Amino acid sequence: MPSFESEKLQETLLDLLRSQEREKQLRDENAAILAGMSAMAGANSKRQVFNGLLSVLRKYIGFEHALVLTREDENAPLQELVTTCRFFESSTWPIGNTFVRSMNGESIALFAPNQVSEFQRLPQEMLQYCQSVLLTGVKVSSGDALLLFLHSERGQFSPRCRRVLERFRPLLERAIIDIDYRERLQSLVTARTQELIHSQQRFKDFAKTVGDWFWEVDTDLRFTYISSPNLANHVVDNDSILDIFDEQETLKKKLKVKFGMKEPFEDLEWQLPESEGGLWISFSGTPYFSKQGKLLGYRGTAKDITNRKKRLFELQEARKQAESANKAKSQFLAMMSHEIRTPLNAVLGFMDTLAESGLNKEQARWVNQMDQSAQLLLTIINDILDLSRIESGNFELYNAEMHLDESINLVVSQLHEQAVKKNIALSVNISPSVPKKMVGDKNRISQVMFNLIGNAIKFTNQGSVSIDVKRDNQYVSIAVTDTGIGISQEAQRNLFNPFIQADGSITRRYGGTGLGLAISQHLIDKMNGKITLESTLNKGSCFTVYIPITQSIDESQLYEPVIENSLDHSLSILLAEDSNTNQLVAKLMLEKRGHQVVIANNGKEAIEILENNQHQFDIVLMDISMPVLDGLQATKQLRQKNINIPIIALTANAMHSDQVEYRKAGMDGFLAKPILTPELNAMLNKYQALATTE
């Protein structure tokens, strides 16, 4: 019995000791919690709150680093809020089952974190700190939060550590909620501060751009405010704003009128005296009123616009230079037109004479092809030299009845020799469905075909070039297909722009101006057709032209027909021409048609001949560019002498602006060099008919 009582006493004493230990532990924990809360209450940042929490927990849990993760909604990943390890800063974490359990309030100790999905994708520099992990979840106002304790060695967190977390949960929740709140508050303050800074800078920039000087005056026009006493080095020491402009009476009157009408004004310009730099100032202002609508005065700005005036002057000077350059370009083009057309006139004239000199069939075919080539060359020259028409798109089409197959075959025959030299098969396939006759500008169509087929041969080194012509509903489609170098997709986007070729290497190897495709597309557009391109680099290209089929046309739209000299009346013609070759060509062409020709070598000779024998001649063919006296001056002098004989300009200067000048000088018509048979016959027939009726 005594033994039993002794054991009972011993157990009671042990229970008492355990109770005392638990009470001491609770007192210590409560003291720690109170100390932690006190530290957090005095904290100035989320870092201080976090450090205060860790200093309490570090007495009961052995960890190396700690980390708080948060998310704003259930679909977002967890992101670092605060940490003691720099490797975890700004980190983002996926959410798996382990994190979900912890966010639901469970405290979890991980002894092998590398086998848990949330940690498996961490980089090695982060994973080395996560050999042991203790985590628990907390609900915060912005969403969910996780608190993780980390250790670089395994097995560091026992079940006792989880119980500590449970006992300290109120402190944990308070700390993490406080950290989250401070973070959101700091983000909001930072954002608002940044907005304020931007707003302040914005208004400063606005003030700088609106004006260099701000002013305000009362109803007596006396200054009540000026932002600076100096305005572009001009000292403002006047009481009244009008006194500033004593030397600028015109501006002063304008301001008085504006002030008197109580209306705003903008950009009244004022130039400072040369002694103050001669700067230009722009004044703007507006009236301001009280709530009752009473005028209180005027407010406005003044801005230094010297640089603007300088740029305006430079732009005006640049415009003058551009106009001067454009005039020089026009003069150059006119000169080039004359220089190229003059020898071409002889070529065409002699070919025309040669064609009627009794050639055999084969020789006549050769001359015909030469003539067609010269005609096509003339068309191309017209486009290149008349640059204003090319830039403005003001091409004129001369439509007439034509044989499309003949035009295409002619171009192919002209380019056949080039294909033979490169050992390239050149073939034409014209479908029977293509109309035998159609209305169109055969020279322009030949120009387009010459460009496309010529390019196909130029850029094909082996294989073939084929031309397939067929009817496609209301269009004739002409497909030019080659097995050449092809064109890249990038180059195709700019290929039809003027002076553009596929790329630099092609330009160096094959040459060319790059103008042909741009002109071709413009011509086909004028015909209400289109050009398409399909190409593969290093395999070949196919350009397809679609031309509308027109089989009848109003006569007024046709190119002037060849008018045969059906009248018997012979004209007496004075030819004023300084070139011996052109004298010979024109005389042959006119005499072949039964007319008498007298030649003057310059304008002075023409005047002398006409003064003595004006009634002897029916018309004058007057060259423009001649020595001693040119055709324009000669015509003006003849008109001043009341010599009214018809005068026809005969010149290689074929631009529209030139023709206007010829009309102003008193000329009655225009015949361009090289002289074309249809135009010559039409002109002669007109004056033969006039001579017959007189």
Q: Round to whole Å and give the CA distance between 239 and 601.
A: 81
User: What is the largest distance, in Å, between two alpha-carbon atoms of the chain?
Assistant: 177
- Give the per-residue pLDDT at 580: 84
- Give the per-residue pLDDT at 475: 92
pLDDT tens sequence across 196-230: 887 777 666 655 555 578 888 888 888 888 877 77
pLDDT tens sequence across 444-465: 888 889 889 988 998 899 999 9
Give the Å distances, CA to CA, from 7 to 17, 21, 551.
15, 21, 133
Spatial CB neighbours of 545, under 8 Å, sequence gap ≥ 6 = 448, 449, 452, 477, 478, 479, 480, 524, 529, 530, 531
pLDDT tens sequence across 598-635: 999 999 999 999 988 888 899 999 998 888 899 899 99
pLDDT tens sequence across 587-599: 888 888 889 999 9
Output DSSP code: residue 222: B
Give the Å distances, CA to CA, from 195 to 183, 185, 204, 479.
18, 15, 14, 63
Give the Å distances, CA to CA, from 138 to 56, 106, 290, 376, 414.
18, 10, 59, 90, 91
Confidence band, pLDDT 50/70/90 cuts, at residue 501: low
pLDDT tens sequence across 181-199: 777 777 777 888 888 887 7
| Mean of pLDDT values over 313-319 | 87
* pTM tops 0.75: no
| Mean of pLDDT values over 523-532 | 88
Confidence band, pLDDT 50/70/90 cuts, at residue 558: very low
Which of 222-236, 278-292, 386-400 is predicted with the least confidence, judged by mean pLDDT? 386-400
Is the pLDDT at 355 greater than 70? The verdict is yes
Token output for 694: 């007189």
Confidence band, pLDDT 50/70/90 cuts, at residue 560: very low
% of the chain at pLDDT higher than 70: 81
Is the pLDDT at 157 greater than 70? The verdict is yes
| Mean of pLDDT values over 53-77 | 85
**To the nearest whole number, what is the mean pLDDT of the chain?**
80
Is the pLDDT at 402 greater than 70? The verdict is yes
Which domains are delineated in the chain? 13-186 (3.30.450.40), 210-309 (3.30.450.20), 396-548 (3.30.565.10), 572-692 (3.40.50.2300)
Is the pLDDT at 329 greater than 50? The verdict is yes
Say which residue, 447 or 566, is predicted with more confidence.
Answer: 447
Residue that has been written with the tokens 């067609």 in this structure: 372
E strand map for 550-666: 572-576, 596-600, 619-623, 647-651
- Give the per-residue pLDDT at 428: 93
